[in-house]
């Protein structure tokens, strides 16, 4: 039983709550701690003198078409329908439009009934994991990885099996993955473009990974689900292609969000796509829908759903992120940092200048640089720089990065 006694009142009436949940609510993440420190520090030395690279919150506005379409709907559509319940899996017309868009861009052969609209990618992940993983099972994450995966996986009762990527390229290490899969493996989460490294997994990596997954499915006689977490799909540079995983592996669930591509992180709109080629497609889709129901999602926000057909294929101005990326890459390399060139997302993963990334981040704080140590991503010795900030912040921060590097020479 996950319950413990937390406190005793004068009258000896005990509070019985879920202690695991309390801890999750009480413990701030490393990233949130840094963010709060940054707010305090800015109050002391001025907004412009603290270089906060902690949060992955887009700084670029939504494309104009988003607000224009929302205003148009508010002005012209029947409010009872606009703000009304959609079916639990999402509005049928919205799902059809998204399916068409996926087919046009990815040639994926999907249809409206493959899509289950969700309250963002986090909900897509919790519904998918609740459907396919549980007590006594394992879910593989490829380290470094987004720390909330651990929270989502463990809530289902399953355990996390971390497999480190190649730390030169941050491509998946296929041999290590093969060695990690066992009869308890329910699923593997793949996040490309990656948070925190910015790596885009190459087609060769994906093919090799899927070959291993198929082999292991046969070996253990059970499905191993590939959960593709893709909120950064559109944020890629230099024309790099992000393979669409349903085209490589039948037992794929794609978790998508419009948070980053359209700069709508607070609005919570995304979906799960169940590959139409999946074994027992209907049962898996139903289990995801059942999870959505049991977790209390009801439906994805209706007006935001109805926005999507009007803005499919549009993105925020990602050239700003590319400018930031190139500036940081060039300058940090010239100061002596070891940086893996990211092909996507808006994160730079930089080798710490001493073995302990936490100590390095503390040292960076002395130069008012707020960097996230990589330990919570399951890959010690690095720092994450979220460069989804104004370019001016980077320009102002460069002397601090230089001074930090020099302090280690």
Residue numbers 291-350 binding a second copy by CB under 8 A: 291-305
Which residue's entry shows tokens 């794609």? 254
Q: Build a one-symbol-per-residue string for 252-291: x at contacts with a second copy by CB under 8 A, - elsewhere.
A: -----------xxxxxx----------xx--xxxxxxxxx
Strands 339-340 and 347-351: antiparallel
Q: At closest approach, how far in Å is the CB of 193 from a second copy? A: 19
CA dist., res. 381 & res. 207, Å (int): 29
122 binds a second copy (CB under 8 A): yes
Pick between residue 193 and residue 292 the one whose CB is nearest to a second copy.
292
Per the CB < 8 A criterion, the answer to whether 62 and 307 are in contact is no
Pick between residue 284 and residue 353 the one whose CB is nearest to a second copy.
284
18 binds a second copy (CB under 8 A): yes
Q: Hey, CA dihedral for 260, 263, 266, 272, is it positive or negative?
A: negative
Identify which range of 37-45, 152-160, 195-203, 327-335 contacts a second copy by CB under 8 A.
Answer: 152-160
215 binds a second copy (CB under 8 A): no
Pick between residue 217 and residue 234 the one whose CB is nearest to a second copy.
217
Q: At closest approach, how far in Å is the CB of 18 from a second copy? A: 5
Other Cβ atoms closer than 10 A to 233: 23
Identify which range of 126-134, 203-211, 330-338, 366-374 contacts a second copy by CB under 8 A.
Answer: 126-134
Q: Would you state the structure tokens that stand for residue 225, as one six-digit string?
A: 């689900």
Q: Build a one-symbol-per-residue string for 100-119: x at contacts with a second copy by CB under 8 A, - elsewhere.
A: -------------------x
Q: Which residue among 43, 45, 92, 134 contacts a second copy (CB under 8 A)? A: 134
Distance of CA 100 to the CA centre of its chain: 24
Which residue's entry shows tokens 């980077």? 394
Per the CB < 8 A criterion, the answer to whether 153 and 367 are in contact is no
How distant, in Å, are the alpha carbons of 60, 264, 322 from that of 319? 10, 18, 5
22 binds a second copy (CB under 8 A): yes
Rounded to 10°, the helix 92-106/302-311 angle is 40
Nearest to residue 243, comparing CAs of 278, 210, 277? 210
Q: What residues form DSSP beta bridges with 339?
A: 350
Q: At closest approach, how far in Å is the CB of 51 from a second copy? A: 19
53 binds a second copy (CB under 8 A): no
Which contiguous run of DSSP H or E holds residue 405? helix 391-406
Which residue's entry shows tokens 């937390």? 6
Q: What are phi and psi of 38, to 5 degrees?
A: -60, -40
Q: Which residues, numbered 158-187, are part of the site for a second copy (CB under 8 A)?
A: 186
Pick between residue 197 and residue 305 the one whose CB is nearest to a second copy.
305
24 binds a second copy (CB under 8 A): yes
The three-class DSSP label of residue 249 is coil
Q: Which residues, numbered 356-385, are part of the site for a second copy (CB under 8 A)?
A: none
Pick between residue 136 and residue 336 the one whose CB is nearest to a second copy.
136
74 binds a second copy (CB under 8 A): yes
Pick between residue 251 and residue 343 the one whose CB is nearest to a second copy.
251
Q: Which residues, numbered 31-50, are part of the site for a second copy (CB under 8 A)?
A: none
């Amino acid at each position: 039983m996950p319950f413990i006694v937390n406190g005793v009142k004068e009258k000896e009436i005990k509070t019985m709550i879920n202690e695991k949940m309390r801890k999750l609510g009480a413990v701030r993440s490393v990233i949130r701690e840094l963010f709060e420190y940054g707010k305090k520090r800015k109050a002391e030395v001025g907004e412009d003198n603290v270089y906060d690279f902690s949060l992955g919150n887009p700084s670029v506005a939504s494309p104009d078409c988003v607000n224009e379409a929302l205003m148009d709907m508010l002005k012209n559509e029947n409010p009872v329908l606009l703000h009304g319940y959609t079916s639990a899996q999402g509005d049928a017309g919205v799902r059809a439009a998204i399916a068409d868009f996926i087919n046009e861009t990815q040639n994926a052969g999907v249809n409206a009934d493959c899509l289950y609209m969700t309250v963002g990618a986090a909900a897509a992940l919790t519904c998918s994991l609740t459907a396919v993983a549980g007590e006594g099972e394992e879910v593989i994450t490829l380290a470094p990885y987004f720390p909330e995966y651990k929270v989502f996986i463990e809530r289902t009762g399953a355990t996390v099996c971390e497999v480190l990527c190649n730390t030169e390229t941050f491509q998946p290490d296929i041999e290590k993955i093969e060695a990690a899969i066992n009869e308890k493996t329910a699923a593997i989460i793949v996040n490309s473009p990656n948070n925190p490294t910015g790596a885009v997994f190459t087609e060769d990596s994906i093919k090799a990974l899927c070959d291993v997954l198929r082999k292991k499915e046969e070996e253990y006689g059970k499905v191993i689900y590939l959960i593709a977490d893709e909120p950064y799909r559109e944020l890629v540079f230099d024309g790099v292609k992000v393979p669409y995983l349903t085209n490589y592996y039948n037992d794929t669930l794609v978790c998508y969000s419009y948070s980053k591509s359209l700069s709508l992180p607070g609005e919570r709109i995304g979906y799960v796509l169940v590959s139409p080629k999946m074994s027992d497609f209907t049962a898996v889709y139903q289990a995801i829908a059942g999870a959505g129901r049991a977790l209390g999602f009801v439906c994805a926000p209706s007006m935001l759903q109805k926005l999507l057909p009007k803005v499919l294929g549009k993105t925020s101005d990602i050239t700003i992120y590319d400018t930031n990326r190139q500036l940081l890459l060039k300058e940090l390399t010239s100061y002596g940092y070891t940086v893996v060139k990211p092909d996507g997302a808006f994160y730079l993963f930089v080798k710490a200048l001493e073995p302990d990334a936490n100590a390095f981040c503390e040292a960076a704080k002395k130069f008012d640089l707020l960097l996230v140590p990589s330990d919570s991503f399951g890959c010690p010795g690095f720092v994450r720089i979220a460069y989804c900030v104004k370019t001016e912040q980077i320009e102002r921060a460069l002397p601090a990065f230089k001074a930090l590097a020099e302090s280690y020479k």
